C-alpha cells in the first residue's frame, strides 16, 4: 500500500497568513485522509507537506492554488519528494 503513496511539498506565496489558510488546509487534509503538516514561514508564505493517495494529494495541491476565501495566492512552488510514511496531519 505504501507504494501507492506520493508526497508533495508546496510553498504558497501571496496574502496567505492570517486568513485561516493553515486550519482550512488541515481540515481538508483530514477529510481526504492525507498525512503531513502545514506551517507559516517567516517570509509570509505558507509551507505544507502532503502524503497519501495520488488523487488526494493532487486535490490538496490544487486547494493551495486558491486557498480559503480571503487568501490571495500569487504563486505555488511544488516539489515531488519520496514518501516518509507520515501519519496524521498537523499545524506547525
What pLDDT digit, counting tens, does each position of 18-65 carry? 999 999 999 999 999 999 999 999 999 999 999 999 999 999 999 999
Structural domain including 28 reads: 2-91
Q: Which of 7, 40, 41, 92 is catalytic?
A: 40
Instruction: Tell me the CATH number at 21.
Output: 3.30.70.100
15 is catalytic: no
Residue whose cell numbers read 481540515: 27
Three-state SS at 66: helix
Residue 6: CB partners within 8 Å, gap ≥ 6?
Answer: 51, 52, 53, 54, 57, 80, 83
Q: Which of 8, 22, 27, 41 is catalytic?
A: 22
Query: What is the model's pLDDT at position 3?
Result: 60
Res. 1: pLDDT tops 50:
no
In whole angstroms, give the CA distance from residue 33 to residue 72. Answer: 26
26 is catalytic: no
CB 52 within 8 A of CB 35: yes
Taking the complete model, does pTM exceed 0.85, yes or no? yes
Number of domains observed in the structure of the chain? 1
In whole angstroms, give the CA distance from residue 86 to residue 45. Answer: 23
Amino acid at each position: 500500500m505504501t507504494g501507492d503513496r506520493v508526497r508533495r511539498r508546496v510553498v504558497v506565496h501571496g496574502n496567505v497568513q492570517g486568513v485561516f489558510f493553515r486550519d482550512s488546509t488541515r481540515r481538508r487534509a483530514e477529510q481526504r485522509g492525507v498525512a503531513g503538516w502545514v506551517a507559516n514561514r517567516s517570509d509570509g508564505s505558507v509551507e505544507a507537506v502532503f502524503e497519501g493517495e495520488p488523487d488526494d494529494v493532487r486535490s490538496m495541491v490544487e486547494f493551495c492554488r486558491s486557498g480559503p476565501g480571503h487568501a490571495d495566492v500569487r504563486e505555488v512552488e511544488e516539489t515531488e519528494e519520496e514518501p516518509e510514511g507520515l501519519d496524521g496531519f498537523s499545524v506547525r
